[in-house]
Amino acid sequence: MVAQTLESFPGAPRVVAADLDGTLLPLVLDGSQGLTRLSVETVRTLTAMGIITILVTGRMFSSAATFARQLGLTGPVVAYAGALIREVGTGLLLHHDPLPLDLSREVLAFIEPDRLSLNLYIEDQLCVEQRTVAVDRYETLSGMKAIVVGRLLDYLERPTTKMGIGGPPESLDDLQARLRGHFGSRIVAVKTWPFFLEITNPTATKARALEILGRRLGFEAKDVLAFGDGYNDADMLAWAGTGVAMADAPAEVAALADEHCGTVEEDGVAHYLMAQPWFPRGG
């Protein structure tokens, strides 16, 4: 398809913002998940139309960038659920909103007695205390390799972009409730997988990251079509001009969306886009 100006497609959004896991990538525990050919072709069609596609994910930048390149994207990726924005093509860091160091130490001290598997993300490196089943699973799912650094409280001397805790779902549910009760609005603690809990700075959200990019690239919320399935997508779906929740999104998330599409296994995002009147037929 020959590149055209966006004005050639009345009603089309200026930006498509899409989560990865559960939205463009199925949750496959053996790490074999990947983008479908239809998803790749659809995003490349958006690019040819002049529509900016931005991946907005809880993943590390290095992990997300792999999929961005497969989609033919070279611009910004929102990683760590909004805590970091970096360009794929140039590697330029556009925004970083890590957890403050003192707060990170306080959270680590609170969690340490639970003896769960903790991840720190420092300068886009995955740092862990020791090898665990949860660490092995995370490496498989993310495609990243962990660095074993020993006791995290002794190691942490620089701000961490995000914290991650792996463990049994019921243990993480209990920890999430206790974290919210103890720290209140000082942190955001959200489960992104049944067996994984993420902690970020409350100012590091997907919607805020898109607002920051909007000021840089010249778009507003009304110009954005966003897709997501999880709790960390909720603010983005509510903020975007059109928020589309995946069919299997939790009820609280789905309620914030304007529309809904099929599941990731059904290529829900691609089929939603292809059904729009502004999307090129046969594109």
Tens of pLDDT, residue by residue over 167-191, are: 999 999 999 999 999 999 999 999 9
Residue 282 counted as domain residue: no
pLDDT digits (tens, 9 = 90+) for 121-134: 999 999 999 999 99
Q: Are the beta carbons of 49 and 60 closer than 8 angstroms?
A: no
Q: CB-based contacts of 251: which residues, under 8 Å, 6+ apart?
A: none
Both 152 and 165 in one domain: the answer is: yes
Q: Distance between CA 202 and CA 180 in Å, rounded?
A: 12
Both 194 and 112 in one domain: the answer is: yes
pLDDT confidence band for 281 (50 / 70 / 90): confident
Q: Are the beta carbons of 262 and 271 closer than 8 angstroms?
A: yes
Both 193 and 262 in one domain: the answer is: no
The domain containing residue 71 runs over which residues?
Answer: 6-97+204-274
Residue 280 counted as domain residue: no
User: Last residue of some domain: 171, 200, 229?
Assistant: 200
Both 208 and 186 in one domain: the answer is: no
Both 191 and 105 in one domain: the answer is: yes
* Number of domains comprising the chain: 2
Instruction: Give the 3-state DSSP-derived string for 165-181, with helices as H, strands as E and coil as C.
Output: EECCHHHHHHHHHHHHH
What is the mean predicted confidence (pLDDT) over 12-41? 93
Report the chain's C-alpha Rg in angstroms.
19
Both 90 and 21 in one domain: the answer is: yes
User: Last residue of some domain: 157, 183, 200?
Assistant: 200
Q: What does pTM read for this prediction?
A: 0.94
Give the helix ranges, DSSP H, for the chain: 37-49, 61-70, 101-111, 133-142, 152-155, 169-183, 206-217, 234-239, 251-254, 268-274
- Give the closest residue to 208 by CA, choosing from 21, 80, 60: 80
Backbone angles phi, psi at 55, to 5 degrees: -75, 130
Residue 277: is it exposed, middle or buried by C-beta count within 10 angstroms (0-12/13-18/19+)?
Answer: exposed
Q: What percent of the chain is predicted at pLDDT more than 70?
A: 98
Both 125 and 168 in one domain: the answer is: yes
Q: Distance between CA 228 and CA 173 in Å, rounded?
A: 22
User: Last residue of some domain: 200, 218, 239?
Assistant: 200
Both 266 and 225 in one domain: the answer is: yes
CATH number, domain at 263?
3.40.50.1000
What is the mean predicted confidence (pLDDT) over 145-159? 96
pLDDT confidence band for 283 (50 / 70 / 90): very low
Residue 281 counted as domain residue: no
Bridge partners of residue 116, in order along the sequence:
none
